[in-house]
């Protein structure tokens, strides 16, 4: 059984610029060439949110999503590698967060947590990486013609709990954030916590 990984903590504590460097990405003025999309300057990095966006793939996310995108692996495998590579180094007393371009030091874990913490009375922001880690490869997913490797790579899987229980879930994006859409063979479903996403409409 795979050991548990705290996706949110990893995304907060590991500097995305350090991950980009480990992936041999050369960042110039917050931009880099995406080796997967073979598109020059399609990768954009954001120091204030410790995140990235691939404009060619229309994909945004944290350091885990970046590693998964560049290496073509699933979110769990990406998180496991980054945990071993960076948190092990940190425990040994080595720096895992080199200074970012422009002389701006990376945000600390407490700063990142404070920045992302919801205001009182508001729900916590949706964490797509954490949600993806709970999805399973089942017969329902296999019936769609997806291998386990493909399902893991694209973050597709069967949801056994929550408002999308009984649905095969697919990641979707509204251009800035990643959300999940459920399909049970008959209908699509968006959970209530994604009410900001425009629902899909069937053609007449």
Task: Map out the domains of the chain as residue ranges.
Answer: 7-116, 134-194
C-alpha gyration radius of the chain: 18
Whether 154 shows a pLDDT value over 60: the answer reads: yes
Whether 108 shows a pLDDT value over 50: the answer reads: no
Q: Which CATH fold topology does 7-116 show? A: DNA Primase; Chain A (3.90.580)
pLDDT band, residue 32 (cuts 50/70/90): very high
Among 28-42, 121-135, 163-177, the range scoring the smallest mean pLDDT is 121-135
Give first-to-last CA distance, the chain, whole Å: 46
Degrees to nearest 5, angle at CA 185 with 180 and 190: 25
| E strand or H helix at 158 | strand 157-159
Average of per-residue pLDDT across 21-33: 91
169 forms beta bridges with: 157, 182
Pick from 41, 193, 44: which is nearest to 118 by CA?
193
Tell me the C-alpha distance between 27 and 21, whole Å.
8
């Amino acid at each position: 059984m795979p050991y548990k990984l705290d996706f949110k903590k990893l995304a907060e504590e590991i500097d995305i610029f350090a991950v980009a460097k480990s992936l041999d990405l050369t960042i110039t003025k917050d931009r880099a060439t995406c080796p997967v999309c073979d598109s020059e300057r399609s990768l954009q990095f954001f120091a204030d949110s410790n995140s990235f966006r691939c404009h060619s793939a229309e994909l945004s996310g944290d350091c885990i999503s970046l590693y998964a995108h560049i290496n073509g692996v699933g979110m769990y495998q990406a998180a496991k590698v980054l945990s071993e590579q960076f948190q092990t180094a940190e425990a040994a007393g080595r720096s895992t967060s080199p200074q970012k371009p422009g002389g701006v030091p990376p945000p600390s874990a407490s700063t990142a947590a404070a920045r992302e913490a919801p205001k009182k009375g508001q729900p916590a922001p949706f964490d797509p990486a954490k949600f993806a880690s709970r999805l399973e490869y089942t017969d329902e997913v296999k019936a769609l013609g997806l291998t386990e490797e493909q399902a893991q790579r694209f973050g597709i899987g069967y949801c056994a709990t929550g408002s999308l229980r009984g649905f095969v879930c697919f990641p979707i994006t509204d251009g800035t954030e990643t959300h999940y859409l459920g399909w049970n063979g008959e209908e699509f479903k968006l959970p209530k916590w994604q009410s900001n996403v425009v629902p899909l409409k069937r053609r007449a």
